[in-house]
Amino acid sequence: MSIFTGSAVALVTPFKEDGAVDYGKLKELVEYHVANETDAIVICGTTGEASTMTEEEHMEVIRKCIEYVNKRIPVIAGTGSNCTQTAIELSVEAEKAGADALLVVTPYYNKATQNGLIQHYTAIAEAVNIPIIMYNVPGRTGCNIQPATAVALAKKVKNIVAIKEASGNISQVVKLAQLADGCIDIYSGNDDQVVPLLALGGKGVISVTANIIPKDVHDMVQKYLDGDVAGSLALQLKAIDLCDAMFCEVNPIPVKKAVELAGLCGGYVRMPMTEAEPASVEKIKKAMTNYGLKLA
């Protein structure tokens, strides 16, 4: 059984002006997404700025999210690291906290060979009992999970069950789908490629844009799965300019500004992320307004 089918939001972590985690706003965001039919929550991923949290903060945000969700939808905890032992420790703690699954990014900066990736993911998976989604985003990590490697892991390790594909390389995903032949769930990691990945047998999307249009991203996937391909495509095309705006600067800078403009939470980011440049703010405002979103 899939961890989820549909739209998982790559949730922002709300901060206060002094940089502290705003747990009150985190709870409000959880309620907003449950009410708007988000199918799962990914907490402490790239968009959640986990890379600038201490390990204690990282785990507390995961614990609080799990508490606030209270089993209504799956919570997928981001526990990846470029240190295998750190990833193991975070993964074990997230399982203890009640996470439904883990999102584990490839090692970054030090990277890894394909054999190294197999050893890295196998070690993490063997330390826990909950399912793992591998996260392939070579544009940020400099490390690419080749299709054959992903399939080998899925076939060898029982709780490696899915991959978030954010390479942007559709040809690579086609090869992955061919080799996998259904042995691994594929989720789009790019908001502008949801329908193409669904056409390749994908189960849904882990979405940045869902932070501000959760119901529409859910509907985009659900319509496709219900056989309304034209309706799904219409939503995909409608959202393209908004998706582009969410990546006009390094993620999560634009989406943090967008959630602020939508009145959902403060848009504060932690260094080395910085506030969106004025031209970017105007682009985000224009895309949101054109989409039909009201600005706070």
Q: Which residues contact 272 (CB under 8 A, 6 or more apart)?
A: 52
The pTM (predicted TM-score) of the whole model is: 0.98
Q: 267-276: long-range contacts at Cβ-Cβ below 8 A with a sequence spacing of 24 or more?
A: 268/14, 268/15, 268/16, 268/17, 268/19, 269/15, 269/49, 270/15, 270/19, 270/49, 270/52, 271/52, 272/52, 273/49, 273/52, 276/248, 276/249
> Is the model's pLDDT at 1 over the cut of 90?
no
* Furthest-apart CA atoms within the chain: distance in Å: 50
pLDDT in tens, 203-256: 999 999 999 999 999 999 999 999 999 999 999 999 999 999 999 999 999 999
pLDDT of residue 34: 98
- Catalytic residue set: 135, 164
DSSP assigned state of 209: G
The pLDDT > 70 percentage for the chain reads 100
- Quickly name the fold that domain 6-226 has: TIM Barrel (3.20.20)
CA 95 – CA 70 distance, rounded (Å): 15
> Is the model's pLDDT at 185 over the cut of 90?
yes
Distances (CA, A) of 192 to 19, 71, 214: 31, 29, 15
pLDDT in tens, 51-87: 999 999 999 999 999 999 999 999 999 999 999 999 9
Domain parsing of the chain, residue ranges? 6-226
